[in-house]
Structure 1
Amino acid sequence: TDYRALLWLDSTGSARWWVTPTPNGFATDRTGADVRWVRPLLAACRARAAPGPFCVPGEGPAQNHLLIILPVSRSGNIIGYIAGVFDLPRVLSATLHPGVLPAYTIAVLDRGQPLHQRAGTGPAADLFRETVLALPGLDWRLRLWPAPGELTHAPSLLSVLILAFGLLMSALLAITIRLAQMSARRSIELGRAITACAAAGETLRESEARYRAVVEDQTELICRFTPDGTLTFVNPAYGRYFGATPSALVGKNWLEFLPPEERDSVRGRFQSLTPANPIITHQHRAVLSSGEVRWQEWTDRALFDERGAPVEYQSVGRDITAYRRADEELRASERLFQQLADNVHEVFWVLDPAQKCLLYASPAFEELWGIGREQFLADPESALAAVHPADRARLRAALRNLFTGRTDVEFRTIRNGRVRFLWSRTYPIHNDAGEIYRIVGIGEDITSRKQEEEERHKQAARQRDTLVREVHHRIKNHLQGVMGLLRRHAHEHPELAGALESALTQVQSIATVHGLHSRMPHRNLRLDELVRAVARVTGDIGSSPPVITLESGDAPAVELADTEAVPVALIVNELICNAVKHAAAVNGEPWVKITLTGHDATACLHILNPCSALPPGFDFASGRGLGTGLGLVQSLLPSRGAALTFTHADGQIEAELCLQPPVIAAIPNPAPPGTRGLEP
């Protein structure tokens, strides 16, 4: 038994203090707790034939403890005297081997005063002196006999010899106990060693089983081989891959599985491994037993001896044929894409809508826009600086619609002072969730196409103008023939002269319109030009025409809608003819004043002539009191965009014709101010 503590007790069996050895000395704890396991030891002491100092090993709960009992009282106990004579602390010190208590203190006290004291080395002695001896009222007297003074008598030689013999037997007993303790400890240590070896063996077997399960169940190819390439181990996956059992492959050279042209390069990679860089990953081809060539990727680790020379290699590999084929297909696709991008003149680009950044722009972009692709990819807004100012807003609006769907836009750019026409179209690309995750755009320089279209339009316009002039010219010539017939009939039939002259002016007005169209086929007729031409023609008819004055003032140059030119010409013809007829019927010099005014989108024609009065009951709006000419005017007057009124004041009649869209087609710019007089 390994005694690990010293316990000092009082006569009641309660522990006074307790000393326990630690790596740094003794730890002392003073306690008043009842230590019940001590009582059986006290009973064993009382059962002895004679009292005396005892070294009693504990049992049961008290094992691993040594109870030292020193019943000494120098004044009333021969034992105390003998203890002083025979130096009992020294005897006990020899009994307690340092291996049991490497640091200790033993003292013989009399009523708390030390008689003899022996201290071991280390902090235990100081601990004893500073704590134990300083405790007040410490009494070590432990009486194990029935009555005080029972053994009080004069010492004799026999008693001394008996005591010495008892002490010697106690020492022998202590030595025997110590030897038994050492034997038991060795047995325990041997048992523990055997148990540890058995546990280590079981752990080793479990670790080996786990290792074998991992290696054998691994889908990757695992092998080990010597520096010359001889296989020393392969896992089942390696054997299945090369169509042989692992045992059949061990001993073969794995370099034989490689195409001959690759063996030297692979061998060179292994020679480059060093203790500082023992790992390498590489790819190479392998030839299977069927003759099929596959691609493999290996991670190899070199194992070196203490001199730094490689003794073995361990490799883990996998088949990457599918990956290599996919990579080759991708590279071929990229080469095809690059060839397409490098050789087409159209621009195309790819946009990431999530990041709102360009991922790619084809090389043709630089030629089309005049800026580098890197600049465009980094700052797409830089391309807008080359856009024609008039088209930037429209292009920005189209760019805002990129993330909603397909766009199609034409715009102009200015490069080196030249205007170029560009066309761009975008297509959204959706992922499996239906979300737009890419936007692809294409662009093209359509300047040549635009120029060709413009030239075709100009050519068509020239052909149209020529045709229109020819048609109007022929119509005018035919109408001139009709007018000649009407004049001849008027001369031959004076009674029909009035009606024929009215018909003649109407035909002449139509001929005037066609004549104007033949001279200016590229645009609509202007109202001032039409009024001037009709007034000139009307003034030529009749025996004594009045003086017609045309004032345009600041009236705008109003263009008539093409479909309304003939009706307006006939209306103006009737109004001027009617004014000329009434002006000639009054006394004095006949005159007609025509004035053009206008503001905003309205143009007004005022025809003023002298007249005694309007016909009785005249009402143009209701159609009462109208003659043949004004009846024709009412029927020709457009229902929208035209209004005609008549007023009579101070012996004058004023007809006011106001025109608005849709009769008016456009008001391009104001007419030059001034007054023109037309002498018929």
Structure 2
Amino acid sequence: MPETFSACQDCLCFCFELGTAFAISLTGQILKVSPTLAEELGYRQAELEDKSLKALLGPEGLTAARAFLSLSETPRTQFAVRLRARGGELIPALLFACRFKDHVKVWVKLGERATERQKRELLIREVHHRIKNNLQGIAGLLYNQALAHPQLKELLETPIRQINAIAQLYSLRSQGQDRVFLCQLCQIIAQAGLSLSQVALTLDIPYLQAIEVQDQEAVSIALVLNELLANAIKHGQGPITLSLRKQAEEAQVRIQNPSPKPPAFDLAQGVGLGTGLQLVKALLPQDGSATLTFAWEAGEMTAALSLRPPLGALCTPKWAIVSGIDFA
């Protein structure tokens, strides 16, 4: 019997040395790491040995390991974790733990590591998240200046709205979304515009068609919509409706509000344009994929932005677009 037990122990040690494995004390200290596992994670053995489990396991795995160590009556277990490689990358793995008298041996089955494309996508998401945070920080600083200097409030409201709109667009991108949809831009602009105004706004987007906006033009379209809504809030009277419609091979965003008199400007000729509409005219693509018209009838002003391919492409819907949301 002793010889059989000794042979079993030798076999375990042999497998430990050749495989991906590590040993820990009953208090959670790393006693030994196999050369293979250390190499897979990008470490030298000495860099992990005598360290806490925090050096090797992510938060969820650490909790699971501590739970196993606290249950002395449980001889073996297995659980999924993420192992911490050099550089901070967390690699999925399945651990098989076996309790001995004074230590625990853990055999590791490593999952697939992130591909170069996945790493690049994660990096891009992180960059977008930081851009969003920085933009919101800038908007916050401007808002504090508006509070401290009431005489500048009206002047600062425009850049605050613009920055918040762009920040929300980067927020979408930081969530891993690689496509930008017109319905989302409408919602973003509504929220950004009303953060500085108490005007009642109805967001009316009843269709299920998903309308994708070219990624490189998304910021420009967001700013155009932002200026049109700001113009309606500033110069209109009463509630505003922002609607999205599909018409044949184009999508059209309409911003409608009561107005006592027709517009005193001509967008096509560039006559009588304020700073906001000058920005709108400059941002509109010159390839004919976007057109903007203004119409006044029976005391109501309508700004209609039409988008056609390739700028606005109709595509398969991925979710139901909201309808009839009132921002009052």
TM-score by length of 2: 0.61
Q: What is the alpha-carbon distance in structure 2 between the residues aligned to residue 662 and residue 499 of structure 1?
A: 35
Deviation digits for residues 114-171 of structure 1, max 9, x if unmatched?
A: xxxxxxxxxxxxxxxxxxxxxxxxxxxxxxxxxxxxxxxxxxxxxxxxxxxxxxxxxx
Deviation digits for residues 584-628 of structure 1, max 9, x if unmatched?
A: xx3xxx311011111443111011011112343x11111111111
Question: Letter of the aligned partner of 1:663 in structure 2?
Answer: L
- Contact 2:284–2:290 (CA under 8 A) maintained in structure 1: yes
Does 2:294 match 1:646?
Answer: yes
Q: What is the alpha-carbon distance in structure 2 between the residues aligned to residue 591 and residue 493 of structure 1?
A: 29
- Contact 1:582–1:609 (CA under 8 A) maintained in structure 2: no
Residue 493 (structure 1) shift: 2.3
- Contact 2:129–2:170 (CA under 8 A) maintained in structure 1: yes
Q: What is the alpha-carbon distance in structure 2 between the residues aligned to residue 606 and residue 666 of structure 1?
A: 17
Q: What is the 5 A alignment of 1:432-471?
A: 459-471=115-127
Query: SS where residue 210 of structure 2 aligns?
Result: coil
1:567 corresponds to which residue? Answer: 220
Q: What is the 5 A alignment of 1:3-402?
A: none
Q: What is the alpha-carbon distance in structure 2 between the residues aligned to residue 555 and residue 646 of structure 1?
A: 26
Query: SS where residue 502 of structure 1 aligns?
Result: helix
Residue 530 (structure 1) shift: 1.2
- Contact 2:189–2:225 (CA under 8 A) maintained in structure 1: yes
**Partner residue of 2:175 out of 519, 533, 541:** 519
1:605 corresponds to which residue? Answer: 253
**Partner residue of 1:633 out of 280, 292, 297:** 280
Q: What is the alpha-carbon distance in structure 1 between the residues aligned to residue 172 and residue 189 of structure 2?
A: 11
2:153 corresponds to which residue? Answer: 497
1:655 corresponds to which residue? Answer: 303
Q: What is the alpha-carbon distance in structure 2 between the residues aligned to residue 559 and residue 653 of structure 1?
A: 27
Residue 637 (structure 1) shift: 0.7
Q: What is the alpha-carbon distance in structure 2 between the residues aligned to residue 605 and residue 555 of structure 1?
A: 15
Deviation digits for residues 465-508 of structure 1, max 9, x if unmatched?
A: 32222111111111111111111221222222112001111111
Question: Letter of the aligned partner of 1:637 in structure 2?
Answer: L
Query: SS where residue 296 of structure 2 aligns?
Result: strand
Query: SS where residue 675 of structure 1 aligns?
Result: coil
Change (3 A) 1:564 1:674: closer
- Contact 1:536–1:678 (CA under 8 A) maintained in structure 2: no
- Contact 2:294–2:304 (CA under 8 A) maintained in structure 1: yes
Query: SS where residue 620 of structure 1 aligns?
Result: coil
Deviation digits for residues 613-667 of structure 1, max 9, x if unmatched?
A: 2343x11111111111111101011112000000011111000000012212452
- Contact 1:556–1:599 (CA under 8 A) maintained in structure 2: no
Q: What is the alpha-carbon distance in structure 1 between the residues aligned to residue 154 and residue 133 of structure 2?
A: 24
Q: What is the alpha-carbon distance in structure 2 between the residues aligned to residue 469 and residue 551 of structure 1?
A: 30
Query: SS where residue 260 of structure 2 aligns?
Result: coil
2:315 corresponds to which residue? Answer: 667
- Contact 1:555–1:603 (CA under 8 A) maintained in structure 2: no
- Contact 2:263–2:296 (CA under 8 A) maintained in structure 1: no
Does 2:211 match 1:558?
Answer: yes
Does 2:182 match 1:539?
Answer: no
Q: What is the alpha-carbon distance in structure 1 between the residues aligned to residue 244 and residue 319 of structure 2?
A: 10
1:591 corresponds to which residue? Answer: 239
Does 2:106 match 1:482?
Answer: no
Question: Letter of the aligned partner of 1:533 in structure 2?
Answer: I
Query: SS where residue 623 of structure 1 aligns?
Result: coil
Question: Letter of the aligned partner of 2:325 in structure 1?
Answer: G
Question: Letter of the aligned partner of 1:643 in structure 2?
Answer: T
- Contact 1:472–1:518 (CA under 8 A) maintained in structure 2: yes
Q: How many residues align structurally? A: 216
- Contact 1:524–1:562 (CA under 8 A) maintained in structure 2: yes
Question: Letter of the aligned partner of 1:579 in structure 2?
Answer: A
Query: SS where residue 324 of structure 2 aligns?
Result: strand
Does 2:272 match 1:622?
Answer: no
Q: What is the alpha-carbon distance in structure 1 between the residues aligned to residue 183 and residue 125 of structure 2?
A: 20
Change (3 A) 1:679 1:460: farther
Residue 461 (structure 1) shift: 4.1
Change (3 A) 1:659 1:482: same
Change (3 A) 1:665 1:563: farther
Change (3 A) 1:493 1:622: same
- Contact 1:556–1:671 (CA under 8 A) maintained in structure 2: no
Change (3 A) 1:508 1:558: same
Deviation digits for residues 50-80 of structure 1, max 9, x if unmatched?
A: xxxxxxxxxxxxxxxxxxxxxxxxxxxxxxx
Q: What is the alpha-carbon distance in structure 2 between the residues aligned to residue 615 and residue 563 of structure 1?
A: 31
Question: Letter of the aligned partner of 1:657 in structure 2?
Answer: L
Query: SS where residue 624 of structure 1 aligns?
Result: coil
Q: What is the alpha-carbon distance in structure 2 between the residues aligned to residue 614 and residue 625 of structure 1?
A: 13
Q: What is the alpha-carbon distance in structure 2 between the residues aligned to residue 638 and residue 540 of structure 1?
A: 28
Deviation digits for residues 510-530 of structure 1, max 9, x if unmatched?
A: 111111111133x21100011
Query: SS where residue 558 of structure 1 aligns?
Result: strand
Query: SS where residue 643 of structure 1 aligns?
Result: strand
Change (3 A) 1:671 1:643: farther
**Partner residue of 2:183 out of 528, 545, 549:** 528
Change (3 A) 1:561 1:673: closer
Residue 678 (structure 1) shift: 3.9
Q: What is the alpha-carbon distance in structure 2 between the residues aligned to residue 562 and residue 624 of structure 1?
A: 31
Q: Unaligned 5+ residue runs, structure 2?
A: 1-111
- Contact 2:257–2:300 (CA under 8 A) maintained in structure 1: yes
Question: Letter of the aligned partner of 2:268 in structure 1?
Answer: A
Residue 558 (structure 1) shift: 0.6
Change (3 A) 1:548 1:459: farther
RMSD of aligned residue pairs (Cα, Å) = 2.1
